[in-house]
Amino acid sequence: MRILVVGSGAREHAIAVSLAQDPEVTALACAPGNAGTAAVSEQFGLDVGDNDAVVAVARTWQADLVVIGPEAPLVSGAADAVRAAGIACFGPGAGAARIEGSKAFAKSVMSSAGVPTASSVVVDNPAHLDTALGVFTPPYVVKDDGLAAGKGVVVSDDVEVARAHALGLLDAGHPALLESFLDGPEASLFCLVDGTTVVPLLPAQDFKRVGDDDTGPNTGGMGAYCPLPWAGAGLADDLVERIVRPVATELDRRGVPFSGLLYAGLALTSQGPAVVEFNCRFGDPETQAVLALLRTPLARLLHATATGTLAEQPPPDWSDDSAVTVVVAAEGYPATPRLGDVITGADGDGVRHAGTRRREDGAVVSCGGRVLSVVGTGADLAAARADAYARLEPVRLAGSHHRTDIGLRAERGEVSMPVSLR
C-alpha cells in the first residue's frame, strides 16, 4: 500500500514512524513533512490549505491511501476532495469535521445526542459580553469558537482576564464561547470511526498549560502519557457507549457520517464524564504516546477506517507498557516563539519532529513553536517517564523549554477516578 501522510507535526512524524515499520506499506510519503519525517519517507512540498494541491500530490504519487493529520485541511474539505478524486482517505469530510471547526455545531450535536458537556453561550457582540459573563461563576472558560490550535482557550478565576480575552477574540472578528468549568481529571479518548462503527484506542492524558504544575497559558499540548494507571480497564468502552457512539450516530443521522479519528477531550467529573471538546483528527502530543504502544499494523486500521470496513477488523492489540511524551518548545512559545535556532541531538530513537526543517547547510533548525517531542516507554509510568526524560537529555536547542512533570502526579498516585466512574 502506498500511503501519503499530509501534515508537518510530531503527530505526522509519529504516524509515519508507525507506517514505516508496517510490512503492508510499500511506499510512504509525507507532505510537507519536516526534518524528522524526511528520514522515514519521501517528502513533497505542499500547502496543506490548498485542496487541489493535496489531490495533485496524491494523484501524481499514485497514493492508495491519504492520511490527513491536521484539522485545518479537514475542516476545509481536503478529505472530500481526495475521495472525489477516487483515492481512499483517512479523515472526515468538511461536514463532519465541523465537530471541531465550530464549537456551536459540536454543542448542537451533543445536545441532540444527549451527551453531557459544559453549558455554554456564544457571544458575537461586545455589548452582550457582560450579561453573558454574569451567567457563569469562576473559574471562567473563554474559547475561540473556531480553530485556534489549543491556544484560543483561557481559563481564569479573574473575570477581567476572561473579559479581556473575549474582547480580543471579538476584536479579531471571532465569536467567543463562554463555558462552565468542568472539574475532575481530563482524558483524551481517540476513536477510529467509520460511520457508526467506533473502535477506541488507549485513553491518554495531555498537559495543555505551558508550565509545570499546570501554570501559565494554554498551548497546543506540552506532553502526554498513556494508558491511565488510575483508570479502570473498562473506561474506554464506557466512554464509547456514553459519549462517542451517540455522537457518531447523530452525525450519521444528520447526513454527515464521520470517517477518521474522532477525538473526545473529556473531563471525568464527580457527576460523570463530560465533553470538553471534540476534535476531528489524531491529537498532538497524545498520538506520539498512544502509537508507541500499538502492536496492530497501523496501515490496516487506517485503511479499514477509510474504506468503511472497520467492523471487519479485530480489536487493536496493545503492548502492556506505558508511554510518555514530552514536548520541547521554542523560546517564547506559545506567545512569540523564536524560530531558526539550530537543533542538535534530535536524531535518537523516540524523537518525533514537529517544527523542524533542514537548512541548506544540512543543519536542522526550528521553524515552529512546538519543535519536537520525545517518547519514552517502560513497564510502568515511572519507567516510561524516566525513559522519556533520558531520551530528551541529548537534545540541544537554545532557549527551549519543556515541562518536567508530565505524568508525575499520576506516577505518585495523586490522580484518581471520580466515584461516579468507578
How near is the Cβ of 284 to ligand GLY at its closest, in Å? 5
In the complex, the smallest distance separating the C-beta of residue 147 from ligand GLY, rounded to whole angstroms, is 10
Q: Is 63 or 323 the residue whose CB approaches ligand GLY more closely? A: 323
Mark the segment that binds ligand GLY (CB under 6 A) among 132-140, 210-218, 280-288, 345-353.
Answer: 280-288
Shortest CB 1 distance to ligand GLY, Å: 26
Residue with the three cell numbers 518536567: 404
218 binds ligand GLY (CB under 6 A): no
Does 283 participate in binding ligand GLY (rule CB under 6 A)? yes
- CA separation for the pair 295, 235 (Å, rounded): 20
> What 3-state DSSP class applies to 338?
coil
- In terms of Cα–Cα distance, which of 54, 61, 60 is closest to 84? 54
Q: Are 17 and 40 in contact (CB under 8 A)?
A: yes
Locate 40 and state its grid cell: 522515514
CA atoms within 13 A on the CB side of 46: 30
Query: What whole-number distance in Å separates Cα of residue 260 and Cα of residue 356?
Result: 27
Out of 117, 218, 259, 279, the only residue in the binding site for ligand GLY (CB under 6 A) is 279
* Range 124-183, binding ligand GLY (CB under 6 A): 150
Residue closer to ligand GLY (CB basis): 2 or 401: 401
Among 184, 221, 337, 376, interactor with ligand GLY by CB under 6 A: 221
284 binds ligand GLY (CB under 6 A): yes
Task: Give the nearest distance from C-beta 56 to ligand GLY in angstroms.
Answer: 28
Torsion of CA 23, 28, 30, 33, to 10 degrees: 60
Q: Which residue, 76 or 325, has its beta carbon nearer to ligand GLY? A: 325
Which residues, 6+ apart, have CB-to-CB distance to 123 below 8 Å? Answer: 129, 132, 166, 170, 175, 176, 177, 178
Least distance between ligand GLY and beta carbon 392 (Å): 19
Nearer of residues 279 and 356 to ligand GLY, judged by Cβ: 279
**Maximum alpha-carbon separation in the chain:** 59
Q: Which of residues 327-386 bind ligand GLY (CB under 6 A)?
A: none
Closest CA relative to residue 14, chosen from 229, 243, 302? 302
Task: Return the number of the residue (28 or 280) whose C-beta is nearest ligand GLY.
Answer: 280
Q: Which of 145, 286, 321, 387 binds ligand GLY (CB under 6 A)?
A: 286
Phi and psi (nearest 5°) for 261?
-110, 115
- Number of amino acids touching ligand GLY (CB under 6 A): 7
Choice between 43 and 76, CB closer to ligand GLY: 76
Tell me how far apart the alpha carbons of residues 106 and 227 are, in angstroms, rounded to a whole number: 26
Judge whether 319 and 384 are in contact, CB under 8 Å.
no
Residues 15-54 that bind ligand GLY (CB under 6 A): none
Q: Which residue's beta carbon is nearest to the bound ligand GLY?
A: 283
Please tell me whether residue 100 binds ligand GLY under the rule CB under 6 A: no
Given the complex with ligand GLY, which of 197 and 205 has the nearer CB atom?
Answer: 205
Q: Candidates 165-173, 226-234, 282-290, 333-341: pick the segment binding ligand GLY (CB under 6 A).
A: 282-290
137 with 144: CB under 8 angstroms? Answer: no
Closest Cα to residue 411, out of 388, 394, 391?
Answer: 388
State in angstroms the smallest separation of the CB of 286 from ligand GLY: 6
Which of 145, 206, 341, 411: binder of ligand GLY (CB under 6 A)?
206
Q: Which residues bind ligand GLY (CB under 6 A)?
A: 150, 206, 221, 279, 283-284, 286
